[in-house]
Chain A
Amino acid sequence: MKRTDQAPLFAVVGHPNRGKSSVVATLSQNDRIAIALEPGTTRESHTYPLTVDNHTLYTLVDTPGFQRPRRVLEWLEAHSLSASDRPDTVAAFVHQHRENPKFRDECELLTPIIEGAGIIYVVDGSVPYTAEQEAEMTILRWTGQPSLALINRIGTDDHTESWHKALGQFFQVVRSFDAVRASFEKHLSLLKAFGQLRPEWEQPLEQATHYLTRQREDRQWQSARLIAAALADMMRHQESRTLPRNLPIPGSDSREALEARLRDRWYQHQREREERLRRDIETLYQHHQIARQEAELSWHQDHDLFSESTRQAWAVSKRYLATAGFGAGAVGGASIDALTLGHSLGAGALIGGLIGAAGSYFYGDRLAVQALRLGPLKGSGELQTATFGPVQDLQFGYIVLGRAVDHWWHISERNHAGRDPLELPPSDSHWLEQLDSPQRKAIQQALGKLRKGRQLAPDEQQGLEAAIHSALVGYRKWRADHGASRDSMDPGKTGWPR
């Protein structure tokens, strides 16, 4: 009956609404698990295996909460003679009441335990300890299975200390774990603690943490590739339209209207492409249910890609734009001047000619897009193509990158138990500050090439991806170093909504 030759199984049990599902959601990276369901509605156990190449390393079982623990305990006490028969008595209870709807939840949660699962008992550390949960803790102790208690704080109050003392009497190991805010390192630490419950579980849990670490590193690289691809698309994007020859006569109203239309489509495309990047990153990190606040109407607000506040948060100084090509330059961040994104778009056109540092310096302080250009006549000479774009201003690339790096950080650090809408408060440090000169240079050169509408060579592409990857690593490190003192920047805290 006992599982000794199979992958470890861990039953996550507890009182209803004490955060069992949020613990499972975070550890299984599954944001589809319904959290805070109606207590008392009958639920079945759900299993969440961690598999590597279809080989299961461990399985989490999310169980219903105890509904009638005192009745169960009364039954157990009435059928037990000594401490040695307690595990068998618990198994007998399950066999006896498997079909009894009154004890359906108890049977559901006890079944994996009597089959050998380790017990992960979850309590809410934000409510005071009361002795009323002692009945269920006693039942779990009767099963004789290795057990670990998790204090998961759902609310803001902290009663962890009193829970620690009480739980220590019933469980082998007592850990605190905030399912919504715990870092990835704490996930791994918790899994390792699961492995300590039985000697034969240590190795699979070690393997699991190894693979999860590797998965996280891979995701970081994949994110860098996704960001690099989106950046290339956005920098090179050009809107075009084929029209009758006479329509876009220079200076005419129709020409201005055409330019305005193409410009609007260009804006629209850039926003949509950025949004697609965000969805791709969220999918990569298995976040499928993030509450979204973006809508077309909200694009004209502060968090819009083209808003002034976005510029203030993510633009770089014109000195940086002028010198980054040489691998030097101060980032400058919010103190830059004269840039008026959204107003100058399409107004100033930089068409070729000026390259390198001087070009960056003079034109980097305004976002210039190649304004309306008319192609050669086609066919019978009655049609011609009007184009708008690509963007000529490297500043746009830095803003796109800054927003992407920041969004990535919020997603990669977000736990799957989190249900708050994603919010992206502004940062007081620029992501570029974490990069060294060669990587800054690689980004600058890639942006310079992309704005000419050219494709990057494979080595340039790899250089850009490597630089973005370093930016991600550096930004995460900076956030980790400063996160403790900047609560307002933690994922899920209040700030500017996206």
Chain B
Amino acid sequence: MPGHLETLLAFDHQYQRDQRQSPAFLHRRDRRYALDRGEGQKPDIHHWLGQLEALNGATSAGFPELRFWRQFATAFISAGALLGIITMSGLLFYDGGQQINITVILGVILLQLVLALFTACQGLAGWQPWAPLVHSLQHRLEKRQPSSALWPLFSPMMARTAQAAGLAFGVTGLLTLLVSVVVQDLAFGWSTTLETSAEGWYRIVSWVAAPWSGWLPVATPTPDLVADTRFFRLEGTGTDIAGIRWGAWWPFVAMAWLTWTILPRLLLLVVATLDLRRKGLRALCDHPGYKALLWRMETPAVETGSDATDSGQLPVDVTSNTVAIPETPLVVCWAGASPEDILTKPPSQPLRAGGNQSLQADRDTLSALAGQRSPEDRQLLVVTRSWEPPTAELEDFLEEAAERFPDLTLILLPVASAPAQPPAEQALAQWLRFADRVGRGVHVAAVDTAEALHETD
């Protein structure tokens, strides 16, 4: 199971990939996941990422962003371990001429404790004075900028690394102490330039030993031991005291190191790890893609049919032209159109067809035309409203007329709402296309634009 940092980075990578997808697709995908997961099941990012990975047939190729941090942490911890050995060896350096001063060791323990607490505070507070240095190192080593998803976590990550290094320092220091105790005859004592009495110093070491004095008396200094092991630089080695007394301090030193260096580091490492986990979860929740993901999972996918594309074909270009309005007495008004103001000699009682007339009335109109026409008539004018769409019923009427009067030319005259004006270009175009579709030599007539302008003037 991946850790929280890996989850955060995997989520960030998925978020970056999702930037290229359409929001509608992402909503469908994530809503589908939420519905498949079932009612009442809280969305799980691990599971969601796992499912996407499985569906995409991809396997996680690791996170280069973390590789640097792992290497950095390993180096830092190794350095801590090495420093622990060196420090303890330095503290225990004993050439037989001078006792090992317990005061110095206690000072180092105190320094370690202060450093551990300072690191913890820095990590919890999010202070990153070292960040430019680490980022610069990362940039030099890997030629890349740190991942922005990890920015909020640099502080706890560094705190955890530092506590781990401190722990390694303490552990190797303790091991060095134990090894030294075994292989060397170490003489511990205590010394200070200050006017400190043996009783006062005893109180100090009693405070230090308080955590274990109840159950580990061997590691708890006695007043006698304190009084006996004080040494002064100018007094020589103090050979009057039994050699065993000089070595009796080592259990105290080991326990003090364990209790005040190693245990605080261990405790603060746990705190730093928990803090990193908490901040990692918070970074995930604060990630710009996280809320959007939850929204996509929670929100029903409403599709209004907006993706369907109408397959209707656009009109073809008009290929034919209009003709002049013929002078013919054979005029039929289709669906309520009127030839008034447009024909020079409009019929007094024009024949009507279409509209709300019955089909039988249309046939009667054709019969009446047959009765009206004279042999010299060559055109039949059908007046229509230009703004009305030509329908198949008109086509039927024209076909019937063409069959009945094969020697007549059928001419459509679409009139505008202002009859003296030519119809709008778009309206006229649909009539020209209609005439083309019908065939049978049907033409379209229109008021001449120049004439219309003249009349307007």
Stretch at the interface among B10-18, B55-63, B139-147, B294-302: B294-302
Choose among B23, B301, B304 the residue with the greatest number of A CB atoms under 10 Å from its CB: B304
- A452 proximal to B (CB < 8 A): no
Shortest Cβ gap from A207 to chain B (Å): 10
- B355 proximal to A (CB < 8 A): yes
B359 contacts which chain A residues (CB < 8 A)? 70-71, 74
B-facing residues in A52-75 (Cβ within 8 Å): 52-54, 59-60, 62, 65-71, 74
Distance of A40 Cα from B316 Cα, bound (Å): 13
Stretch at the interface among A124-132, A292-300, A376-384: A124-132
Distance of A16 Cα from B392 Cα, bound (Å): 11
Stretch at the interface among A30-38, A172-180, A257-265, A443-451: A30-38
Given A37-B312, A68-B396, A48 contacting B304 (CB threshold 8 A) = yes
Distance of A19 Cα from B127 Cα, bound (Å): 65
Distance of A342 Cα from B65 Cα, bound (Å): 42
The answer to whether B354 touches A132, judged by C-beta atoms less than 8 angstroms apart, is: yes
The answer to whether A37 touches B336, judged by C-beta atoms less than 8 angstroms apart, is: no
The answer to whether A70 touches B393, judged by C-beta atoms less than 8 angstroms apart, is: yes
Among B300, B307, B312, point to the contact of A211 (Cβ < 8 A): B300
Q: Which residue in chain B gives the minimum CB-CB distance to A288?
A: B306
Q: Which residue in chain A gives the minimum CB-CB distance to B336?
A: A130
By DSSP majority rule, is chain A's interface helix, strand, loop, or mixed? mixed
The answer to whether B335 touches A132, judged by C-beta atoms less than 8 angstroms apart, is: yes
A-facing residues in B283-338 (Cβ within 8 Å): 286, 288, 292, 295, 299-315, 335-336
Distance of A53 Cα from B387 Cα, bound (Å): 43
Stretch at the interface among A89-97, A212-220, A266-274, A301-309: A212-220
Distance of A69 Cα from B396 Cα, bound (Å): 12
Given A53-B31, A130-B336, A458-B286, A30 contacting B304 (CB threshold 8 A) = yes
Among B310, B355, B433, point to the contact of A21 (Cβ < 8 A): B310
B311 contacts which chain A residues (CB < 8 A)? 44, 46
A74 contacts which chain B residues (CB < 8 A)? 358-359
- B434 proximal to A (CB < 8 A): yes
The answer to whether B22 touches A43, judged by C-beta atoms less than 8 angstroms apart, is: no
Number of interface residues of B (CB under 8 A): 44
- B391 proximal to A (CB < 8 A): yes
Among B22, B313, B358, B395, point to the contact of A70 (Cβ < 8 A): B358
- A189 proximal to B (CB < 8 A): no
Shortest Cβ gap from A247 to chain B (Å): 25
Among A66, A71, A130, A283, point to the contact of B23 (Cβ < 8 A): A283
Q: Which residue in chain A gives the minimum CB-CB distance to B354?
A: A132
Shortest Cβ gap from A287 to chain B (Å): 9
- A323 proximal to B (CB < 8 A): no
The answer to whether B22 touches A283, judged by C-beta atoms less than 8 angstroms apart, is: yes
Distance of A406 Cα from B338 Cα, bound (Å): 48
Distance of A44 Cα from B310 Cα, bound (Å): 10
The answer to whether A38 touches B31, judged by C-beta atoms less than 8 angstroms apart, is: no
The answer to whether A132 touches B303, judged by C-beta atoms less than 8 angstroms apart, is: no
Among A33, A43, A461, point to the contact of B288 (Cβ < 8 A): A461
The answer to whether B302 touches A30, judged by C-beta atoms less than 8 angstroms apart, is: no
The answer to whether A49 touches B391, judged by C-beta atoms less than 8 angstroms apart, is: no
- A4 proximal to B (CB < 8 A): no
Given A29-B306, A132-B336, A222 contacting B355 (CB threshold 8 A) = no
The answer to whether B304 touches A38, judged by C-beta atoms less than 8 angstroms apart, is: no
The answer to whether B355 touches A40, judged by C-beta atoms less than 8 angstroms apart, is: no
The answer to whether A135 touches B389, judged by C-beta atoms less than 8 angstroms apart, is: no
**Range class of the A interface residue count:** 35 or more
A-facing residues in B398-457 (Cβ within 8 Å): 430, 433-434, 437
The answer to whether A43 touches B305, judged by C-beta atoms less than 8 angstroms apart, is: no
Q: Which residue in chain A gives the minimum CB-CB distance to B151?
A: A455
The answer to whether B302 touches A215, judged by C-beta atoms less than 8 angstroms apart, is: yes
The answer to whether A67 touches B310, judged by C-beta atoms less than 8 angstroms apart, is: no
The answer to whether A38 touches B301, judged by C-beta atoms less than 8 angstroms apart, is: no
The answer to whether A132 touches B355, judged by C-beta atoms less than 8 angstroms apart, is: yes
Shortest Cβ gap from A205 to chain B (Å): 14
A53 contacts which chain B residues (CB < 8 A)? 31, 35, 300-301
Shortest Cβ gap from B125 to chain A (Å): 15
- A485 proximal to B (CB < 8 A): no
- B390 proximal to A (CB < 8 A): yes
Distance of A41 Cα from B313 Cα, bound (Å): 8
- B356 proximal to A (CB < 8 A): yes
Distance of A38 Cα from B433 Cα, bound (Å): 9
Among A37, A66, A286, point to the contact of B315 (Cβ < 8 A): A37
Q: Could you name 14 residue pairs across A and B whose Cβ atoms are closer than 8 Å?
A: A30-B308, A32-B308, A37-B315, A38-B430, A40-B390, A40-B391, A51-B302, A52-B301, A54-B301, A65-B391, A68-B391, A130-B336, A130-B356, A132-B336
10 further A-B pairs in the complex, CB-CB below 8 A; given A50-B304, A130-B336: A32-B309, A33-B310, A38-B314, A38-B433, A39-B389, A41-B313, A53-B31, A53-B300, A127-B387, A283-B22
Q: Which 4 A-B pairs have the closest CB atoms?
A: A48-B305, A39-B389, A67-B392, A132-B355
Mark A residues whose CB is within 8 Å of B.
15-17, 21, 27-34, 37-41, 43-44, 46-54, 59-60, 62, 65-71, 74, 102, 105, 127, 130-132, 134-135, 211-212, 214-215, 218, 222, 225, 283-284, 286, 416, 458, 461
Mark B residues whose CB is within 8 Å of A.
22-23, 31, 35, 286, 288, 292, 295, 299-315, 335-336, 354-356, 358-359, 387, 389-393, 395-396, 430, 433-434, 437
